[in-house]
């Protein structure tokens, strides 16, 4: 990890989802929900940066602000020195995003989905096939599954294809929004191994949101714990664990989370 190059910088960023109602033909604005509340954070090149929190904490909004899908109400977001609002197209060429529910043409095969994605990014047929073959080999996707419809593949395999699609553009900033939620243990380990490989061999900076405390502990160089749109703690996993009393056992990130937020972490499956 290099501390010299700033990959991502957020300064005093807030995002509110407003609500409005119509009464007697006049629009009345309501307060709405403050999803991200005056957040400032810096992520360095080559870092795996985790964002940890329960549903509704603002994790996904955080990722959407970075990916240009949302515009901040206040503050600035910079990706490798480029403003996400004023230089949107430049930022989009630097990043890619994989979400918990990756969108595919389910009737098409992984190869067909990847070819379609490659053409959208302007890659020629020959260049696209070369890149796709390299990526699929690195992801250890079985040859007999490449031509089958996506709908016949497991969630773990689909997530691998989603990551393969993201890699086609060689992003320098990869945004992973709950990439292992709902996966079986084996598929989860495979995706986590791939995340490490991307950082170590692909020179990618990774921002990862997750519910999984163990995943965050194993993968992340630093972690921001968010609650109600605010960052309530930010440190290395080891540093975060020093924030709580041992009470006769080695503290976990879940101990940290519960002490700082007073909440029990719940996954989407549990809810």
Q: Domain 6-261: give its CATH code.
A: 3.40.50.300
What was the pLDDT predicted at 144?
65
pLDDT of residue 264: 56
**What gap in Å lies between CA 227 and CA 221, rounded to an integer?**
20
Q: How far apart are CA 57 and CA 260, in angstroms?
A: 13
Which pLDDT band, with edges at 50, 70 and 90, does 265 fall under? low
- pTM here is 0.81
3-state SS class at 164: helix
Rounded Cα distance between 221 and 217, Å, is 8
Closest of 55, 58, 62 to residue 263, by C-alpha: 55
Task: Supply the pLDDT for residue 266.
Answer: 52
- Please compute the mean of the pLDDT values over residues 47-69 and round it to a whole number: 87
Burial of 149 (0-12, 13-18, 19+ CB in 10 A): middle
Q: What number is the average pLDDT over the span 97-111?
A: 78
251: left (phi over 0), alpha (psi -120 to 50) or beta: beta
SS3 content of the chain, % helix, strand, coil (to 5): 35, 30, 35
Burial class (CB in 10 A: 0-12, 13-18, 19+), 258: middle
Domain ranges for the chain, please list them. Answer: 6-261
Confidence of residue 166 (pLDDT cuts 50, 70, 90): confident
Least confident among 58-67, 155-164, 171-180, 258-267: 258-267
pLDDT band at residue 142 under the 50/70/90 scheme:
low
Q: What residues form DSSP beta bridges with 206?
A: 48, 174
Residues 6+ apart with CB under 8 A from 262: none
């Amino acid at each position: 990890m290099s501390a010299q190059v700033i990959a991502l910088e957020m300064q005093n960023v807030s995002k509110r989802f407003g609500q409005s109602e119509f009464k007697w033909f006049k629009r009345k604005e309501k307060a709405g929900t403050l999803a991200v509340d005056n957040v400032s954070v810096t992520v360095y090149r080559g870092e795996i940066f985790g964002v940890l929190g329960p549903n509704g904490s603002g994790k996904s909004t955080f990722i959407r602000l970075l990916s240009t899908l949302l515009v901040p109400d206040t503050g600035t977001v910079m990706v490798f020195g480029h403003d996400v609002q004023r230089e949107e197209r430049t930022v989009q060429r630097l990043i890619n995003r994989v979400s918990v529910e990756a969108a595919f043409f389910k009737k098409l095969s992984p190869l067909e989905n990847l070819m379609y994605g490659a053409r959208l990014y302007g890659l020629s047929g020959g260049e696209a096939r070369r890149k796709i073959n390299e990526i699929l080999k690195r992801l250890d996707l079985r040859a007999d599954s490449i031509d089958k419809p996506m709908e016949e593949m497991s969630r773990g395999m689909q997530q691998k294809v989603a990551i393969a699609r993201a890699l086609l553009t060689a992003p320098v900033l990869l945004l992973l929004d709950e990439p292992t939620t709902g996966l079986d243990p084996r598929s989860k380990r495979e995706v986590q191994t791939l995340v490490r490989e991307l950082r170590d061999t692909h020179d990618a900076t990774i921002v990862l949101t997750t519910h999984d405390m163990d995943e965050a502990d194993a993968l992340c160089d630093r972690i921001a714990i968010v609650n109600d749109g605010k960052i309530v703690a930010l440190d290395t996993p080891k540093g975060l664990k020093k924030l709580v009393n041992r009470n006769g056992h080695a503290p976990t990130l879940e101990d940290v989370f519960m002490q700082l937020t007073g909440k029990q972490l719940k996954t989407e499956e549990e809810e």
